[in-house]
Amino acid sequence: MKGLKTAAALLAIFISFPISIYIRYSLLAAVHADRLLWFLFWVDVPVTILLQVIVRAIESANKDDSA
């Protein structure tokens, strides 16, 4: 069961997150965003990845403790 929860968390990170990043990228490209918006986008991407991994790990640890 623990492996299934980990697999679900990894799928959420590697499937839904890249889709949302691509949508944001497409919107910025479509509106011909200026350099500041592109800079903020490229700062936001690694920060969001890091936070998603941390949140999923904490959620997984909390679920394991309560079981």
pLDDT digits (tens, 9 = 90+) for 4-56: 777 777 787 788 888 989 999 999 999 999 999 999 999 999 998 888 888 87
pTM, rounded to two decimals: 0.67
Rg of the chain taking only CA atoms, in angstroms: 15
